[in-house]
């Protein structure tokens, strides 16, 4: 019940934050003090240093966080983890007191009320935020209930001399440290281990001499989670998990050496005193803060040690250059546990995909006027990048859709999922246009002067619809999205009119049949690019509407829509072709 309560409360806290706390981690600045504070805050709220360090491993693996910036966050996470023992020490408040006020402060008095309130929220409220708060209340109640039950269960052991002898074995600092490491590695939570030690201390079974090594061992054992999480990740991500281990090993052994060397001269009476839950929480916090202050100035040594164990390889250096180009690594599987954060990561990746698609198309259009093989190769490379984005992002979004996500996030997921296919198809059309440009260059031919003028106007219209649709997608701008469909209608008319005019030029012998086919291919690709932009815009506009895409398109283009008609007229004038008499 204790472990389950911790899980439920932590899950509620993460859902309440909606991924915002994790996003803060990804925006760590070069200010190391601020990084420590943020690491402390995030871990304090999430009630788990393991969760924070796993996130850090994910951020480093995705390239969002540099390894040097991860070090102070890890230090802060270890300080933030000391808040949880204070929460768990509440079960001992008021024990042995007859004061009515202190009785009311006992969790056994108010935890049931919190549980009832939480259950009420779940049953009555339809708001997700209320349900997330309910998880926190219920999780805390179950946690306190578990602590109370464990405390009652171990209290009779205080009269058992054999069990007392076992607990006294842990006064050997190295044995206590080892047991703390192993136990925490098994339960995957230092808070759980420290909570158990607090339960034993409440029953009068643990002295500070035994509690201190167990707590320090728990701080080392919690590194197992990050180490397991780093398996199969980049070398940099593994380095971050090693840094977490190095820091906790150094701070634990450094304290033990200094403390017990000092004890051999001073003889601390504290060692033989029976520990209290509050005393254990206070020790954990003071140890975390003091050791952070002592070790932080030498924190760069941990980074150097990590690089010493895992040196940079040539392959890693090349991969780093590729990752600088492609932010696909943002889609780390660890983020699936925090859907709010995962959606934000998907948005960033989708926006990058849109920018690469825009760059590919505009570069292909430029090739029509001046063909350069190097730029044509870049169009192909960008198209490959966009294909890879669609494959990875689509797979990730399908996995994310199976997670419990908020309604707003579900709408964003649907928008991205619908749009990435259109983005990929636009990049394909960019390659088709590039092929047409290469054909013109290879044949050393070209269009008539009038055809070039018309194609220039058509190209500008395509550039505008791309800019409008893509900016609307990146910023989720409804006003921009509403302008796409009118431009698309004008482009349809341009496509039909240019083809008609070209047929007339063919009859008059002003253009070759071969160039006629090329022009037809270009205008067809332009028109289909506009169609895909229309799909993206409609997905944005119908995000909050409960209607299908075709129904929504009919609403937009209806005769009664004055704004739509006005925009169509505006773009018709803007992209009007030269008079037919001049053809």
Q: Could you give the C-alpha distances from 314 to 235, 296, 311, 332, 371, in angstroms and in order?
A: 12, 31, 10, 23, 35
Residue 463: per-residue pLDDT: 94
Chosen domain end from 309, 344, 370: 309
Whether residue 218 is contained in a domain is answered as: yes
Q: Per-residue pLDDT averaged across 146-175, rounded?
A: 72
Distance CA 156, CA 169 (A): 19
Nearest CA-CA partner of 531 in 471, 485, 580, 474: 485
Nearest CA-CA partner of 282 in 332, 215, 334: 215
Instruction: Please compute Rg for the chain using Cα positions.
Output: 32
* Residue 180 and residue 285 in one domain: yes
% of the chain residues with pLDDT over 90? 14
Residues 478 and 509: beta-carbon distance below 8 Å:
no
Distance CA 72, CA 33 (A): 7
Q: Which long-range contacts (CB under 8 A, 24 or more apart) does 413-419 make?
A: 413/343, 413/346, 414/539, 414/543, 415/476, 415/539, 415/540, 415/543, 416/346, 416/347, 416/350, 418/535, 418/536, 418/539, 419/350, 419/473, 419/535, 419/536, 419/539
Under 8 Å CB-to-CB from 459, ≥6 apart: which residues?
365, 368, 526
Give how far the C-alpha of residue 122 lies from the chain's centroid of Cα atoms, to the nearest Å.
Answer: 27
Residue 274 phi/psi, 5-degree rounding, is -75, 135
- 495: domain range? 334-582
Whether residue 328 is contained in a domain is answered as: no
* Residue 275 and residue 368 in one domain: no
Write a three-state SS string for 130-182.
HHHHHHHHHHHHHHHHHHHHHHHHHHHHHHCHHHHHHHHHCCCHHHHHHHHHH
Residue 189 has pLDDT above 90, yes or no: no
Residue 87 phi/psi, 5-degree rounding, is -65, -45
- Stronger pLDDT, 271 or 459, i.e. the higher one: 459
- Stronger pLDDT, 572 or 409, i.e. the higher one: 572
Look over the chain and give the mean of its residue pLDDT values, rounded to a whole number. Answer: 80
Q: Which sign, positive or negative, has the C-alpha torsion 174, 179, 182, 184? A: negative
> Among 150-164, 498-512, 527-541, which is the least confidently predicted range?
150-164
* Residue 63 and residue 103 in one domain: yes
Whether residue 567 is contained in a domain is answered as: yes
* Residue 402 and residue 455 in one domain: yes
> 448: phi > 0 → left, psi -120 to 50 → alpha, else beta; which?
beta
Q: Per-residue pLDDT averaged across 504-521, rounded?
A: 77
Residues 207 and 273: beta-carbon distance below 8 Å:
yes
Distance CA 65, CA 334 (A): 15
Distance CA 182, CA 160 (A): 25
Q: Per-residue pLDDT averaged across 189-197, rounded?
A: 82
Distance CA 35, CA 507 (A): 72
3-state DSSP assignment of residue 383: helix
Chosen domain end from 293, 309, 325: 309
Residues 538 and 485: beta-carbon distance below 8 Å:
yes
What residues form DSSP beta bridges with 325? none
Under 8 Å CB-to-CB from 517, ≥6 apart: which residues?
none
Whether residue 324 is contained in a domain is answered as: no
Residue 581 has pLDDT above 50, yes or no: no
Check which CATH number belongs to the domain holding 538 and give it. 1.20.58.220
Confidence of residue 553 (pLDDT cuts 50, 70, 90): low
Cα angle 259, 261, 266 (rounded to 5 degrees) comes to 85
What residues form DSSP beta bridges with 274? 207
* Residue 345 and residue 274 in one domain: no
pLDDT tens digit string along 299-321?
A: 888 888 888 888 877 666 544 55
Distance CA 75, CA 56 (A): 12
Q: Per-residue pLDDT averaged across 102-116, rounded?
A: 69
> Among 401-405, 427-431, 463-467, which is the least confidently predicted range?
401-405
Residues 200 and 167: beta-carbon distance below 8 Å:
yes
- CB neighbours of residue 125 within 10 Å: 13
Confidence of residue 150 (pLDDT cuts 50, 70, 90): confident
* Residue 448 and residue 301 in one domain: no
Two structure tokens written together for 166:
């076992």
Residue 108: per-residue pLDDT: 64
Whether residue 100 is contained in a domain is answered as: yes
Residue 171 has pLDDT above 80, yes or no: no
Distance CA 89, CA 240 (A): 31
- Stronger pLDDT, 147 or 119, i.e. the higher one: 119
Whether residue 268 is contained in a domain is answered as: yes
Whether residue 388 is contained in a domain is answered as: yes
* Residue 293 and residue 379 in one domain: no
Residue 525: per-residue pLDDT: 92
Residue 558: per-residue pLDDT: 56
* Residue 379 and residue 287 in one domain: no
* Residue 67 and residue 213 in one domain: yes
Whether residue 399 is contained in a domain is answered as: yes
**Domains contained in the chain, number:** 2
* Residue 305 and residue 451 in one domain: no
Distance CA 252, CA 203 (A): 26
Distance CA 161, CA 144 (A): 28
Q: Could you give the C-alpha distances from 234 to 183, 330, 465, in angstroms and in order?
A: 28, 13, 40
Q: Per-residue pLDDT averaged across 101-116, rounded?
A: 69
* Residue 125 and residue 262 in one domain: yes
- CB neighbours of residue 6 within 10 Å: 25
Specify the length of the chain in residues: 583
3-state DSSP assignment of residue 532: helix
What residues form DSSP beta bridges with 207? 274
Under 8 Å CB-to-CB from 23, ≥6 apart: which residues?
341, 344
* Residue 263 and residue 377 in one domain: no
């Amino acid at each position: 019940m204790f472990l389950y309560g911790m899980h439920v409360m932590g899950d509620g806290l993460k859902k309440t934050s909606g991924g915002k706390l994790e996003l803060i981690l990804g925006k760590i600045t070069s200010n190391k003090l601020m990084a420590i504070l943020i690491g402390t805050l995030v871990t304090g709220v999430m009630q788990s240093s393991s969760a924070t360090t796993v996130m850090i491993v994910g951020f480093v693996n995705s390239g969002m966080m540099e390894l040097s910036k991860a070090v102070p966050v890890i230090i802060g996470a270890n300080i933030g983890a000391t808040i949880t023992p204070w929460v768990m020490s509440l079960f001992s408040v008021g024990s042995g007191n007859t004061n009515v006020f202190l009785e009311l402060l006992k969790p056994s008095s108010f935890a049931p009320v919190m549980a009832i309130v939480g259950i009420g929220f779940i049953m009555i409220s339809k708001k997700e935020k209320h349900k997330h708060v309910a998880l926190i209340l219920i999780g805390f109640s179950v946690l306190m209930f578990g602590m109370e039950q464990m405390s009652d269960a171990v209290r009779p052991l205080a009269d058992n001399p054999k069990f007392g002898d076992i607990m006294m074995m842990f006064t050997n600092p190295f044995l206590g440290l080892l047991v703390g490491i192993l136990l925490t590695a098994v339960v995957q939570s230092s808070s759980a281990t420290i909570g158990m030690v607090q339960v034993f201390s409440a029953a009068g079974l643990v002295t500070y001499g035994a509690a201190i090594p167990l707590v320090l061992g728990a701080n080392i054992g919690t590194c197992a989670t990050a180490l397991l999480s780093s398996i199969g990740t980049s070398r940099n991500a593994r380095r971050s998990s090693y840094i977490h281990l190095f820091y906790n090993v150094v701070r634990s052994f450094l304290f033990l050496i200094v403390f017990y060397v000092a004890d051999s001269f001073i003889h601390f009476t504290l060692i033989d005193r029976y520990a209290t839950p509050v005393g254990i929480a206070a020790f954990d916090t003071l140890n975390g803060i003091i050791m952070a202050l002592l070790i932080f100035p030498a924190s760069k040594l941990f980074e150097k040690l990590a690089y010493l164990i895992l040196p940079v390889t040539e392959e890693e250096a090349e991969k780093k250059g590729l990752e600088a180009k492609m932010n696909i690594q943002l889609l780390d599987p660890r983020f699936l546990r925090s859907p709010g954060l995962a959606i934000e990561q998907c948005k960033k990746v989708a926006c990058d995909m849109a920018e690469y698609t825009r760059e590919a198309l505009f570069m292909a259009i430029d090739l029509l006027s001046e063909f350069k093989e190097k730029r044509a190769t870049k169009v192909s490379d960008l198209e490959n990048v966009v294909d890879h984005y669609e494959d990875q992002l689509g797979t990730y979004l399908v996995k994310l859709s199976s997670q419990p996500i908020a309604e707003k996030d579900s709408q964003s997921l649907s928008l991205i999922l619908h749009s990435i296919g259109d983005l990929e198809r636009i990049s394909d059309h960019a390659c088709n246009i590039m092929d047409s440009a290469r054909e013109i260059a290879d044949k050393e031919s070209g269009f008539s002067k009038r055809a070039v003028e018309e194609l220039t106007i058509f190209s500008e219209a395509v550039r505008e619809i791309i800019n409008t649709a893509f900016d609307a997608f990146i910023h989720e701008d409804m006003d921009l999205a509403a302008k796409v469909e009118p431009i698309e209608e004008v482009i349809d008319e341009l496509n039909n009119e240019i083809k008609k005019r070209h047929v007339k030029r063919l009859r008059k012998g002003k253009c070759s049949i071969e160039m006629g086919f090329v022009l037809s291919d270009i205008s067809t690709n332009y028109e289909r690019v506009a169609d895909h932009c229309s799909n993206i815009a409609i997905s944005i506009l119908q995000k909050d509407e409960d209607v299908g895409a075709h129904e929504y398109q009919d609403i937009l283009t209806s005769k009664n829509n004055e704004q739509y008609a006005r925009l169509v007229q505006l773009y018709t004038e803007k992209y009007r072709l030269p008079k037919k008499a001049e053809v």
